[in-house]
Chain A
Amino acid sequence: MLEYAQKLTVRDASGNVTRWGVQIPSSGFPYWLFQGLTTPNGVELMNAAGNETYFDKPAVVDALQYWVDLGRKHKVMSPGVIEWGTTPKDFFEKKIAMMWTTTGNLTNVKKNAKFDFGVTMLPASKRRGSPTGGGNFYIFKKATKAEQEAAVRFAKFMTEPERAAQWGMDTGYVAVRPDAWETAKMKAYVKDFPVASVARDQLQYSVAELSTHENQRVTKALNDGLQAALTGAKSPAEAMKDSQAEAARILRAYKR
């Protein structure tokens, strides 16, 4: 990716960048995009029980170093923290050549990009990989019987193949069940717009989104560390060491 990004970065006569090669946004929830770097680097950020994190593993620090270097060393990405919300617009304005974003943006891009574009899986370092995203339907144990039944009916309604397919086409999010992809509508859509299935095909390599006990806190510990490294306030190793220490402190109570 770095090589392409270098080729795609455009500078004007005085050396100011007029188009960055690549953009990985880092405002709000950088941890999620970071998983797109750590997973291909063959490392996960937490254990399945959600009471232990691995932010300071060498492979994690490496991944962060790579991210920081895109901006600071190779100068193919804007340095500092990049706003998630403006990223698609940056792309439409041709200020960036490649962007990392949610597949839920695909329909938006299809509609608003006034030029040809492509979609590909995240680059592989040691393996392919990406974090999953999205939300879940929950049915609460303490709800009344009637509420539970209604909730099940609603969840079923939302995930019917036709509806899931329509949702996928209208947004770009991955339609949640395989048979949605077998509907006539979806088949025609993918035939006409083949990149729509890239995110689905990438799922086989995906890992779970970072999720632990005290999730918001642990996530913030990591986000702060990532932003500190990206803005140059701390070195990647230092930042991840601090994030790990903070996360370990928060999760102490859940280790027993």
Chain B
Amino acid sequence: MRLGAINAVTGWLLVLPAAALLALFTHFPVVATIIDSFYATSRAGKPGPFVGLENYHVMVADEVFWKSLWNNVWYSLGTIPLSIGLALVMALWVNSAMRGRTWLRVAFFTPTILPMIAVANIWLFFYTPQYGLLEKFTTGLGFATHNWLGTESTALACVMVVAIWKDAGFFMIFYLAALQSIPPSLAEAAALEGAPRSYYLRRIVLPLLMPTTLFVLVNAVINSFRLVDHIVVMTRGGPNNATSLLLFHIYQVGFSFWDTGYAAALTLVLLAILAAAAIGQFVFLDKKVHYQ
């Protein structure tokens, strides 16, 4: 009994420093976001008055918010499947006996460790009309010159390509780890049965990679709502908000317009989306695989 009490006190003491910081910078901000979203932004040192749902009414009427939300949905739908699919293919290649697999692994992984802010500058040049690298290629093939980042219909796709390029190699690593943990006996058994390669990959490897895929999926969803560095560098949300993502809109409202009350309401939408992703993970994911 006494030992149990000592254990309990020690346990709490060990957790305390981390718990305090987590409470201050994760839990408190979440609660504060909810509260602040019902208050107007403070002005001239006076705290803002309680305004009930006004910030939410503003949000419903805010065209830029809806556009950012839809952009983000398209952005997620575009980047997530492509980067995960590419990651899987890359992992299969890098894990095979293919010629040059070491340099391929380096090539695929390098974008992961480069700062997004820095590579976005390089991609900006790729997309430059007329003498940018992409233009050199397309005009070389006889296409007319195109203003890639300056046209509403192509700008979002352009920033999506950058995100896919950055993420695929990162996700590849998780698949690589999973592939290396598949016991060789499975392949031997399948070979004895005379199963073709497509069958082996589809019916044996893919199901075994399922937990990894779900894990990567959750990471990809979070990433697609969390990372807007390239937007800041390449388009600042333009043209006409065609590349404005939710977090970028929050950043503008919060730190360019300094409307913290409204920014809190917007943040709550983002938190709701992330919470939904979290719940989804718990529902779909076998807890035993990852949390025990």
Contact = CB atoms under 8 A, between A and B. Distances in A.
A234 B235 CA distance: 20
B213 interface: no
Given A81-B239, A83-B128, A85-B124, A17 B149 contact: no
B134 interface: no
Interface string B233-247: 001101111100000
A17 B147 contact: no
Given A16-B144, A17-B145, A26-B150, 16 more contacts: A78-B150, A79-B151, A81-B149, A81-B238, A82-B147, A86-B124, A86-B125, A86-B128, A95-B130, A220-B256, A224-B240, A227-B238, A227-B240, A228-B240, A231-B151, A231-B240
A165 to B, nearest CB: 33
Q: What 9 pairs across the A-B complex have the smallest Cβ distances?
A: A81-B239, A80-B150, A81-B150, A227-B240, A80-B147, A228-B240, A80-B151, A227-B239, A95-B130
Contact of B147 (A79, A85, A89): A79
Nearest to B234: A83
- A contacts with B: majority SS: loop
Given A16-B139, A85-B124, A93-B130, A28 B236 contact: yes
Given A28-B236, A80-B150, A81-B147, A216 B256 contact: yes
* Residue among A17, A28, A83, A85 having the largest count of chain B Cβ atoms under 10 Å: A83
Contacts of B150: 26-27, 78, 80-83, 231
B223 interface: no
Interface in A49-99: 78-83, 85-86, 89-90, 93, 95
A150 interface: no
A188 to B, nearest CB: 36
A233 B240 CA distance: 9
A16 to B, nearest CB: 5
A220 B67 CA distance: 15
Interface in A209-245: 214, 216-217, 220, 223-224, 227-228, 230-231, 233
A14 interface: yes
A238 to B, nearest CB: 12
B252 interface: yes
A214 B257 contact: yes
A14 B142 CA distance: 9
B129 interface: yes
Contacts of A82: 147, 150
Interface string A31-50: 00000000000000000000
Interface of B: 64, 124-125, 128-131, 139, 142, 144-145, 147, 149-152, 235-236, 238-242, 252, 256-257
A27 B240 CA distance: 10
A230 B239 contact: yes
* Residue among B124, B142, B240 having the largest count of chain A Cβ atoms under 10 Å: B240
Nearest to B241: A224
B172 to A, nearest CB: 32
B142 A93 contact: no
Nearest to B244: A224
A45 to B, nearest CB: 19
B19 to A, nearest CB: 38
Contacts of A230: 239
A201 B152 CA distance: 38
Nearest to A79: B147
Contacts of B240: 81, 224, 227-228, 231, 233
A11 to B, nearest CB: 11
Contacts of B239: 26-27, 80-81, 227, 230-231
A200 B90 CA distance: 58
A148 B241 CA distance: 41
Contacts of B128: 83, 86, 89-90
B237 to A, nearest CB: 9
24 contacts: A17-B145, A18-B130, A26-B239, A27-B238, A80-B147, A80-B239, A81-B150, A83-B128, A86-B125, A95-B129, A95-B131, A216-B256, A217-B257, A220-B252, A223-B238, A224-B64, A224-B241, A227-B239, A228-B240, A230-B239, A231-B151, A231-B152, A231-B242, A233-B152
Contacts of A214: 257
Given A231-B152, A233-B240, A78 B129 contact: yes
A93 B132 CA distance: 11
Contact of A216 (B236, B241, B257): B257
Contacts of A227: 238-240
B85 to A, nearest CB: 31
A16 B124 CA distance: 23
Contacts of A78: 129-130, 145, 147, 150
A95 B238 CA distance: 23
A16 B138 CA distance: 12
